Chains A and B, each alone.
Chain A
Amino acid sequence: MHFILYAFINTLFVILVSPLFVSLIKKVKAFTQGRQGPPIFQTYFMLNKLLSKERVYSVNSSLIMKMTPYINITCMLVASLFVPLLYVPEPVAGIGNVILFLYLMVCAKFFMALAGLDAGSTFGGMGSSREMTVSAVVEPVVIIVFAALGLLMNTSNLHEIFSSSIKSSLVFNPAAILISLSLFIILIVETSRIPVDNPETHLELTMIHEAMILEYSGSDLALMELSHSIKQTLLMAVLINVLMPFGLALEPGITSILLSSVLFILKAVILSVIIGIFEASFAKYRLFRLPSLFMLAFFFSFSTILFELLR
């Protein structure tokens, strides 16, 4: 019963706040470039508009194309149960396992790449091929980073990782700083942000993620966009809960949930501003230079493991 309540609150909160950070990052980028930028609730308006539009499918497309938005959003919502944003619930079997969390993300990515190929357009195929190339390189790094996180906290359960990070203040722990650097790089890579991919263009030379969802329209597109924003919020929440977990409640309660929701939004806003500035201060890397970025994350997580061995 408790867990159902947790699932309801957490999922609702994730869905509600995720679009906010997408447009906030756009706004910050616009400010750094001297533009006004879209309104802060633009993503909500866009999702609302898309939900009432009709869906168009290519004649070449198959069942995959129609299934993928639902698979994507399901994977993301299930994954959202693994990352408590407001309070850490009682442990429930299987929920919170790091490996399962990563594979839910990969499952969504896999179907998105299939859908990119499915419509038969060259853009989609190109996007899928690039996404798979990048994933093949980044996936080992992600595993190493989360392994280092698990080693740091002595558990492979995300809920336990977060509850122990609340108890021991990690801000001045060198290993936590290293792991946050790696998590930040993974956040940038997985949400297709600038040194890796440009989320704003539909130029054929730069797009990876946008190319795969190019064929989608109407409510399908809304679901794809929403699941992408949820993915971003989840990765941001992992970083926030590891580095600055204060405010995350250990017991459910009306006041503690209100307080932690305000604090989470505040922390996520700060992180979004950092992401926006980071994105604005970099140019997109060439595809073949990307591994050096992943290698940095690998290097940092490897040193985290070393730090832990030394302690």
Chain B
Amino acid sequence: MNDIIDVFFVLILATAALIITVRTLSSLFNIYSFQSLFIAVVAVVLFFQTGNIVLLLIAILTILSKALLVPYVMRRIQKNMNLKRDVEFRYLTPIGSLLVGTLMIFLVYRSFSTLLSELSYDDLFFFGAVIGLSITLMGMMVIFTRKKVITKIIGYLMMENGILLFSLFIAELPFIIEVLIVIDLVILITLATILAYGIDSTIDDFHSKLNSFTLWFKD
């Protein structure tokens, strides 16, 4: 059982590395969708180990919202924006981000190993927490290195995935908070859809675009 979870950890790490480097938007969404799916599978395996029904609910919620709904909406936004790739980076190139990412995993591992040696956690749980937190940090890195807003959203979503993974293993979040987070995500995506008109343009362009909507409210 633990081996299967380990394999999925590897796959989750690989998807995180790909989200940092990949430039084509459609494959970014696919990779994100797979990452969410892998996390859901980890939750299902944990459910079979512990029998905690909340884990199964989290898995179902994750698959429905993050593996299916969110990527679908993101693809719609992308179609509206007529944007295929995000090739602009700030502060760090993808190569630099990967290097910093490996460093971050190592730092998280170091800090956790001193922290958790006091508590008697299972190796697997320790590992899940390390990967969860590193993915959160890598998501943050995606947010500040990418220039386009739509890829920043992917970074935010990846951070959320990291928190979910972390909460699966160390600090068990109550299910209600999990649901709230997903609602948050859906609101974020809805907002992004509304802003999709202007998300690819400058503020001035956007203002004039939004002004056209105010006509609806004039009598």
Contact = CB atoms under 8 A, between A and B. Distances in A.
Interface in B6-35: 6-7, 9-10, 13-14, 17-18, 21
Contact of A295 (B10, B99, B126): B99
Interface of B: 3-4, 6-7, 9-10, 13-14, 17-18, 21, 93-95, 98-99, 101-102, 105-106, 109, 123, 126-127, 130
22 contacts: A173-B3, A174-B7, A174-B9, A174-B10, A177-B7, A178-B13, A181-B14, A292-B21, A292-B93, A292-B98, A295-B98, A296-B17, A296-B18, A296-B21, A298-B98, A298-B99, A299-B17, A303-B105, A307-B10, A310-B126, A310-B127, A310-B130
Chief secondary structure at chain B's binding surface: helix
A173 B3 CA distance: 7
Q: Specify the main secondary structure of chain A where it touches its partner.
A: helix
A309 B7 CA distance: 16
Interface residues of A, number: 21
B4 A172 contact: yes
B98 A306 contact: no
Contact of A299 (B4, B7, B98): B98
Chain B CB within 10 A, most for which of A173, A299, A306, A311: A299
B11 to A, nearest CB: 8
B13 A303 contact: yes
Residue in A295, A298, A300, A309 whose Cβ sees the most chain B Cβ within 10 Å:
A295
A227 B138 CA distance: 42
A288 to B, nearest CB: 10
Contacts of A146: none
A300 B14 contact: yes
Interface in A259-311: 291-292, 295-296, 298-300, 302-303, 306-307, 309-311
A310 B10 CA distance: 13
A23 B6 CA distance: 37
Interface string A155-187: 000000000000000001111011001000000
Nearest to A302: B102
A295 B93 CA distance: 11
Given A174-B6, A292-B95, A299-B101, 9 more contacts: A172-B7, A174-B9, A174-B10, A291-B95, A295-B21, A302-B102, A302-B106, A303-B13, A310-B126
A295 B95 contact: yes
Nearest to A173: B3
A169 to B, nearest CB: 10
A310 B106 contact: no
A295 B94 contact: yes
